[in-house]
Structure formats: C-alpha cells, structure tokens
Amino acid sequence: MLTAFVNAFRTPDLRRKLLFVLFIIFVFRLGSQIPAPGVHVSNVQHCLGDEANNTGIYNLINLFSGGALLQLTVFALGIMPYITASIILQLLVVVIPRLEALKKEGQAGQTKITQYTRYLTLGLAVLQATGIVALARTGSLLQNCDTETYPLLHQDNTTTFLVMVITMTAGTAVIMWLGELITERGIGNGMSILIFTQVVATFPASLWAVQKSQGWWTFGVVIAIGLVIVAAVIFIEQAQRRIPVQYARRMVGRKMFGGSSTYIPLKVNQAGIIPVIFASSLLYLPAMAVQFNQTSDSAWVKFVADYFVVGDHPLYMATYFLLIIFFTYFYVSITFNPQEVADNMKKYGGFIPGIRAGKPTQDYLSYVLSRITLPGALYLGLISLIPLIALVMIDANQNFPFGGTSILIMVGVALDTVKQIESQLQQRNYEGFLR
C-alpha cells in the first residue's frame, strides 16, 4: 500500500490529483471545526467534557460527521444525508418502474438519478438540521448536561433557529460538491473518501481514551486485537466466488466475435456496509422515541429504556445481529438480480460451463449467491458486535475503534483507493512483453 502511494507521488499527474484530494480533505475538516452561527462554543465544550455525553443515540450520525454533530459545527450533518438519500434511491429504483428505466438508459439516466439524489439529500438535510437544532434548543442533544446553566445556544429565538438550519443545510450541499470534485479531479470515490476522513479523524482520540480510562496494558491488548480484526476484515473483503463464463463464437457480418472466457465475481460481503447502517438506524428509532417521551411512565418506554438505549443488553445485541443478517439478504436480493444476469448472458451468447442458459443459469446463480451471503452476513454481524462486546468487557463502547462501522469503512475505502491508484500506475507504467 505504501509503495503505491510513493510511486503515485513520483508521477506528476497522479501527484497533482493526490495533492488536490488532500486540499479538499483539509477544507472538509476545517468546516467540521467551525461552529454554526448562534452556538455557545464554551458551553458545548463543557458539556462534551463529560464522557457520558458521548454515548447517545446519535453515534452513527456523529461517527459520519467526525464528531462535528455534537459540536454543532457548519458541517455538523456530515455525509449522512447523502448516504441516506443514496440508499433510498437504490431501493426506489427496484420499486418504481420509471427509475428502473432511467437506470437502464446508461450514463444519461444515471445523471438524472444522481440529480434526484442531490435534491433528496437537501430535503433530508433540512429535516435533520431542524431536528438537531430543536434538540439543542431543548437541551436534549447532549445527555446528562445541565443546559439551563450551560445553554448550547446564545439566543433561543426563531432567527437563530432558522440561521442554524440554513447553515447546516448549506454545509451538506458544500460537502456534496467537495465529494464530486474529488471524484472528477482526484482519485477514488469522493463521498467514500470524505466518510473515511471523518471516521479516521476520531480514531486517535478513541485510542487515547482507551489508554486514559483502562491503562497501557488494556491499550496494548486493544492494539493487538485491532490488528487481528483488520487482517480478518481485509481477508473477507477481498474474498470472492468466481463463477466461470464462456462466450460462444458468433459471426457478425464478416467478423467473428466471442470465444472468450471470463468470470462473474461474487463477493462474500456483497452488501458492503449498508446492512449495518439499516440495522443501526432502525434500532435508533425506539431509542429516539424514548428520548422524546422521557416524562412518560408507560411500560413500553421503560422496556425500551432498559433494553435498547445503552446497547449492552444481550437482547439488544441479538436483535442487532439478526437485523444485520436480514438486511444483508434483503439488500443483496435487490442489488443483484440473477434473472437479469442470466438473460444478459444468454443474449450475448454466454453460458456457465455445465449449466444450460436461461432458467437453469438463474437458479444456479441464486443458489451460489444464497450460499455465500450467509458467511457475509455473519461476518458483518460479528464485526458490528465488537464495540458492544467491548462495552461489556472493558467498558469502552464508544472508545473502541476496531469494530463496527468504523473499521469496515476504513478498510473498505482504503482498499478501493489503493486499487484505483495501482490501476492508474499500471496505465502509465505498463511495459508489456517487449522491453
């Protein structure tokens, strides 16, 4: 990996792209530190000083914002509205025929879907910013904080409320623009690199918090466990089942086409990190409902508060694990269509050796996909439970960096970026067989 970056900096055009990406990352992190207008910075920092305040129901959003959410900065919403909008559009493409037709139109249709994603991102940003600022006004954003003594806003009026909502929404629009700039002029997927940046930004502080609270011995054990987890994640993320495909020779005009061999790569983790986001978001809903009904004495409020808020109860862990498995199968079923793949293979004269074209190929692909999805789902569930297990064993849930969404994002984006750098290096330094 380090060799790829060193060689990339030796190539002038790749060096310019990498420096451009670093500049965008600098701007992105700068915006994540600038407080929104109307925020009482000293009071916010005082409330964040209590470690218990960092364990709220906003952990996923705060993770994707690099800690900027609870600090109420310009980029407080981070990349989360765009991620949510992208997931919603992916689901709607399967449900709405018009969107499915746009997807099949190629680049022109994809451009329209991207535009719809931008509009939906801004809409979600307005909703999320309104909710976050409303919670900041009432003092519910930071738990266990005396907001009457330490108000989070300088002035609690409608003007401050609107200015903060507009600022955070505009910050989300700027983040989208920065991500697209990286994609167009830099290296790698811009949105993924920005997510990677925000996750990595909290990594050193999380490690140091483990050392401060548990000591050097536990710190060393966490580092050792982390290295094993990273190696395991890299192994699983790279694992794939290659289904061989043979294309028959066919005559088109006076030219002969086909006769080549290739394969369909089916990854063990075909769904990526999306099932973890789905499961986390779904489990946040009852916890958020409890926060808005703290004065209620109903039985369901007490049940959710006891079993689904802290996150260290076995019932919560089991529910989280089962939801991840369910959403893994669900997301794979809507993103990979065996019937469509089988029809395309038959259309272009392709077939799997030993399998007849058409319905038998579709059934074979469905069988293989279901077989490899199970270990992928179990892998996602186990990785996501690591921070919850750490909470029980060493009381370091939010300070345990080697697990859950953070390690999946860091390893996945790093591998993808290095692959793209190596691909561009091969294009510029390919020697071939003749030297």
What are the tens digits of pLDDT across the range 59-82?
Answer: 666 666 666 777 788 888 888 888
**Structural domain harbouring 166:** 1-201+405-435
Domain assignment present for residue 208? The answer is: no
**Residue 145 and residue 97 share a domain:** yes
250 and 325 housed in the same domain: yes
Domain membership flag for residue 414: yes
- Is position 206 within any domain? no
Are 295 and 225 within one domain?
yes
- Is there a single domain that holds both residue 128 and residue 221? no
- pLDDT-wise least confident of 27-41, 134-148, 293-307: 293-307
Same domain, 266 and 184: no
190 and 269 belong to one structural domain? no
Q: Binning pLDDT at 50, 70 and 90, where does residue 56 land?
A: very low
Question: What pLDDT does residue 64 have?
Answer: 65
pLDDT in tens, 99-143: 888 887 877 888 888 899 999 999 999 998 898 888 788 776 776
Mean pLDDT of 347-369: 85
Which pLDDT does position 123 carry in this prediction? 92
pLDDT at position 49 is 65
| CA neighbours closer than 13 Å in the CB half-sphere of residue 353 | 10
Residues 226 and 133 in one domain: no
Q: What is the mean pLDDT of residues 367-371?
A: 89
Q: What region does 364 belong to: left with phi over 0, alpha with psi -120 to 50, or beta?
A: alpha
Q: Is 349 within the bounds of a domain?
A: yes
Q: Do residue 275 and residue 304 come from a single domain?
A: yes
Least confident of 167-176, 384-393, 420-429: 384-393
Give the tens place of pLDDT for each residue, 387-416. 767 655 655 554 555 566 778 888 888 888
Residue 184: which CATH number? 1.10.3370.10
What are the C-alpha distances in Å from 236 to residues 248, 373, 422?
A: 33, 12, 21
What 3-state DSSP class applies to 251? strand
Q: Are residues 31 and 101 in the same domain?
A: yes
- Domain membership of residue 7 (yes or no) is yes
* The pLDDT of residue 54 is above 60: no
Gap between the Cα atoms of 331 and 329, Å rounded: 6
DSSP 3-state assignment of 258?
coil
pLDDT for 366 beyond 80: yes
Stronger pLDDT, 10 or 377, i.e. the higher one? 377
Rounded to an integer, what distance in angstroms lies between the CA atom of residue 29 and that of residue 33? Answer: 7
Establish if 247 belongs to a structural domain.
yes
Looking at the fold, whether 185 and 238 belong to one and the same domain comes out as no
Amino acid at site 145? C
| Res 252: pLDDT | 62
User: From CA 386, how far away is CA 226, in angstroms rounded?
Assistant: 10
Confidence of residue 173 (pLDDT cuts 50, 70, 90): very high
Residue 51 has pLDDT above 60, yes or no: no
**Residue 52 shares a structural domain with residue 79:** yes
The position carrying tokens 């939906």 is: 120
How many domains would you assign to the chain? 2
